Amino acid sequence: MASVLVVEDDQFVRSALIRHLTEAGHTVRSVGTALEALREVAQVGFDVVVLDLGLPDLDGSEALKMLRGITDVPVIIATARDDETEIVRLLNDGADDYLVKPFSVEHLSARMAAVLRRTRGTQASQVLRVGQLSIDTQRREAELDGVRLDLTRREFDLLAFLAARPGVVVPRRELLTEVWRQSYGDDQTIDVHLSWLRRKLGETAASPRYLHTLRGVGVKIEAPQPPHAPRPPHAAEPSR
What CATH number is associated with residue 167?
A: 1.10.10.10
pLDDT of residue 36: 93
Report yes or no on 192 lying in a domain. yes
Domain that holds residue 117: 3-121
DSSP label at 226? P
pLDDT at 213 over 80: yes
Q: Which of 49-63, 73-87, 141-155 has the lowest mean pLDDT?
A: 73-87
Do 131 and 83 have their domain in common?
no
Tell me the pLDDT tens digit for each residue of 105-146. Answer: 888 888 888 888 776 655 545 789 999 999 988 778 899 999
Do 66 and 7 have their domain in common?
yes
Do 133 and 217 have their domain in common?
yes
- pTM over the 0.75 mark: no
pLDDT at 235 over 50: no
What are the backbone dihedrals phi and psi of residue 105, each rounded to the nearest 5 degrees, phi first? -65, -30
Tell me the pLDDT tens digit for each residue of 144-184. Answer: 999 999 988 888 889 999 998 999 999 988 888 888 776 66
3, 26 Cβ separation under 8 angstroms = yes
DSSP 72-140: ---EEEEES---HHHHHHHHHTT-SEEEESS--HHHHHHHHHHHHHHHHHT-S--EEEETTEEEETTTT
Q: Which of 58-67, 170-179, 181-190 has the lowest mean pLDDT?
A: 181-190
Report yes or no on 237 lying in a domain. no
